[in-house]
Amino acid sequence: MVSFLDLSKVNNRFRNEIDAKFKEILDKGWYLQGEENARFTQDFAAYCGAKYCVGVANGLDALSLLIRASDFGPGDEIIVPANTYIATILAISQQGCTPVLAEPSLETYNLDVDRLEALITPKTRAIMVVHLYGQAVQMQKVWELAEKYQLKVFEDCAQAHGAYYEDRRVGSLSDGAAFSFYPGKNLGCLGDGGAVVTNDEALYEKVKALANYGSDYKYHHIYKGVNSRLDELQAAVLEIKLKHLDEDNQRRREIASFYRHEIHNPLLILPKTYAEKSHVWHVFTLRTEQRDRLCAYLNERGIQTNIHYPIPPHQQLAYQEWQHLHYPNSEEIHRTIMSIPMSPVLTEQEIVQVVDALNAYQG
Ligand SMILES: *Cc1c(COP(=O)(O)O)cnc(C)c1O
C-alpha cells in the first residue's frame, strides 16, 4: 500500500534523538515556557530570516493572535483567498473582523493578485496571503497595494515552512506570519503547535503577552489575554526536526519533479510552479473532471488519496451568510482537485507505482 502520509515513518527517523530529549525533559521536570521553547523559537525565527518568533498552541491561534495584536476588530475588513483552509477565515471571524474573499488563480491556486485591488474599500485593513499547498505567493503586487492603500500584510504559512519568494523565506515577507506545526505539516510536532513570526518588535511583545494571559511579566496583566503556548516537549521535537526541514523539502521537490515529468495523462491537470525554491510541496495536487472515479481507481490499487478541500468556505454551513455568493475559480478548484501521496519518506518504488497507476488510468 502507498500511504498518503506515513507519520510514524516520518517521525521514527528521529526516534533516538526524541527519546533522549524526552528523558531529559522528564528528568528536569520543566514543561512550559522553558529552554526548549526559547531555543526553538529563536532558531525558527532565524530560519525564516525574521527577528522574532512566539510559540503558540496551534496555527489557528497564531492567525488569530496576529490579527488581535494588530488591533483589528469589528468593522475592519481583511482580504483572504476564497479557497484557503477554513482556519484562515475562522481566525478573521474570531476577531470580529469581516473576511473578504478573493478569487484564486487557476494556474497557481494562490491569490490572483491582479484581482485584489477591486476588493479594497475604505474599511480594508489587511491582506492575508496564504502560501497554499506549499507555494509562496508572488508578493510584489501585494506589497505595492499595501503601500498604496496603507494596509498590513499577513502570511498564513501553515503549508509552506521553508518556501522562498525570490531570495527570502515565507514568514519574513509581511508584517506578521502564522505557522502551524500540526503533525502532517512540512514541519510538524507530535500534537498541536504553532508560531507567530515577525520583524516587528511591538507586535512580537503583544502577541507574546496576549498568548500568556495578557501578561507582560508574572502576575501583571495588561490585556484580556488567552492561554496559547507551545510546550517544551513539542518545542524540543520541532528543534530536532527543524535541522532536517531543508533536506525534507528538497526530497519533496525531487518527488514533485518526478511526478511532473513522468505523469502523462490527458485527463489530469498537473500543478504549476514558477521557481524551484518557491514551492515546498506540502501536498501534490491534480485536477480532473473524474475525481471520484480516479480516487476509487487509485484506492483499489492501494494508493491513498485525499482532497484539499472538497467544499469551498463560502459554501460551508458555518458561513451560511455567503451561500448566495459565487467564486467560480474557487468552486472549480474545489470541484476538481485531489492530492496524491507526498512526503519525504516515500520510496522510489512507491512513487513509480503512483506514476504507473496514473498513466494507466483511462477514465
Ligand atoms: C493547518 C492549517 C491551519 C491551521 O493550523 P492548526 O495548527 O491546525 O490550527 C491554518 N491555515 C492553513 C492554510 C492550514 O493548512
Question: Are residues 251 and 219 part of one domain?
Answer: no
Residue 251 in this model has a pLDDT that exceeds 90: yes
Pocket test for ligand 1, best of 60, 110, 238 (most atoms within 8 A of CB): 60
Beta bridge partners of 101: 80
Question: Are residues 237 and 255 part of one domain?
Answer: no
Joined together, the cell numbers standing for residue 265 give 495523462
Beta bridge partners of 154: 128, 176
Contacts of 126 (CB under 8 A, 6+ apart): 67, 70, 72, 76, 78, 79, 151, 152, 153, 154, 175
Q: What is the Å distance from ligand 1's center to 59 Cα?
A: 5
Q: What is the Å distance from ligand 1's center to 174 Cα?
A: 18
Q: Which atom of ligand 1 is nearest to the CA of 61?
A: 9
Length of the chain: 363
> What letters, b where the CB count within 10 A reaches 16 and e where it falls short, cover 334-356?
bebbbbbbbbbbbeeebbebbbe
Confidence tier at 308 by pLDDT (50, 70, 90): very high
Beta bridge partners of 338: 286
Do 336 and 83 meet the contact criterion of CB atoms below 8 Å apart? no
Mean pLDDT confidence for 261-286: 96
Indicate the pairing of strand 124-130 with strand 77-81.
parallel
Question: Are residues 255 and 238 part of one domain?
Answer: no
CA angle 128, 134, 139 (to 5 degrees): 45
- CATH number of domain containing 284: 3.90.1150.10
Joined together, the cell numbers standing for residue 297 give 481507481
Question: Are residues 208 and 280 part of one domain?
Answer: no
Query: Rounded distance, CA 40 to CA 127, Å?
Result: 28
Question: Are residues 206 and 335 part of one domain?
Answer: no
Question: Are residues 316 and 259 part of one domain?
Answer: yes
Confidence tier at 99 by pLDDT (50, 70, 90): very high
Longest CA–CA span in the chain (Å) reads: 66
Q: Which atom of ligand 1 is nearest to the CA of 132?
A: 13
Determine whether 4 is exposed, middle or buried from the number of CB atoms within 10 Å of its CB (0-12, 13-18, 19+).
middle
* Closest to 62 (Cα-Cα) out of 237, 249, 198: 198
**Residue minimizing CA distance to atom 4 of ligand 1:** 59
Mean pLDDT confidence for 315-332: 97
**Residue 1 domain-assigned (yes or no):** no
Percent pLDDT > 70 in the chain is 100
**Residue minimizing CA distance to atom 2 of ligand 1:** 158
Question: Are residues 269 and 185 part of one domain?
Answer: no
Residue 234: the pLDDT is: 98
Query: Rounded distance, CA 37 to CA 232, Å?
Result: 6
Residue 12: the pLDDT is: 98
The stretches of the chain forming alpha helices (DSSP H) are 7-12, 15-28, 35-48, 59-69, 86-94, 140-149, 201-210, 232-242, 245-262, 291-300, 328-336, 348-360
Residue 328: the pLDDT is: 98
Residue 199 in this model has a pLDDT that exceeds 90: yes
Instruction: Kindly report the number of other CB atoms within 10 A of residue 130's CB atom.
Output: 27
Task: Please say which residue of 187, 215, 242 terminates a domain.
Answer: 242
Pocket test for ligand 1, best of 179, 182, 281 (most atoms within 8 A of CB): 182
Please state, rounded to an integer, the average pLDDT across all residues of the chain: 98
Q: What is the Å distance from ligand 1's center to 60 Cα?
A: 6
Residue-wise pLDDT tens digits, 51-85: 999 999 999 999 999 999 999 999 999 999 999 99
Amino acid at 77: E
Residue 267 in this model has a pLDDT that exceeds 90: yes
Rounded to two decimals, what is the model's pTM?
A: 0.98
Query: Rounded distance, CA 282 to CA 285, Å?
Result: 10
Question: Are residues 315 and 215 part of one domain?
Answer: no
Residue-wise pLDDT tens digits, 126-167: 999 999 999 999 999 999 999 999 999 999 999 999 999 999
* Closest to 243 (Cα-Cα) out of 100, 94, 46: 46
Q: What is the Å distance from ligand 1's center to 361 Cα?
A: 33
Query: Rounded distance, CA 358 to CA 260, Å?
Result: 12
Q: Which atom of ligand 1 is nearest to the CA of 180?
A: 7
Question: Are residues 191 and 137 part of one domain?
Answer: yes
**Residue 37 domain-assigned (yes or no):** yes
Query: Rounded distance, CA 283 to CA 138, Å?
Result: 19
Sign of CA dihedral 288, 292, 297, 303: positive
**Residue minimizing CA distance to atom 12 of ligand 1:** 158
Task: Please say which residue of 193, 218, 242 terminates a domain.
Answer: 242
Residue 274 in this model has a pLDDT that exceeds 90: no
Residue 273: the pLDDT is: 92
Question: Are residues 262 and 126 part of one domain?
Answer: no
DSSP class of 181: -
Q: Which atom of ligand 1 is nearest to the CA of 184?
A: 1
Pocket of ligand 1 (CB under 6 A): 58-60, 84-85, 87-88, 130, 156, 158-159, 180, 182, 192, 194
Q: What is the Å distance from ligand 1's center to 180 Cα?
A: 6
Residue 156: the pLDDT is: 99
Q: Which atom of ligand 1 is nearest to the CA of 193?
A: 7
Joined together, the cell numbers standing for residue 61 give 491561534
Range of the domain at 276: 245-360
Confidence tier at 9 by pLDDT (50, 70, 90): very high
Do 312 and 327 meet the contact criterion of CB atoms below 8 Å apart? yes
* Closest to 304 (Cα-Cα) out of 259, 347, 355, 339: 339
Give the count of domains, the chain: 2
Question: Are residues 68 and 38 part of one domain?
Answer: yes
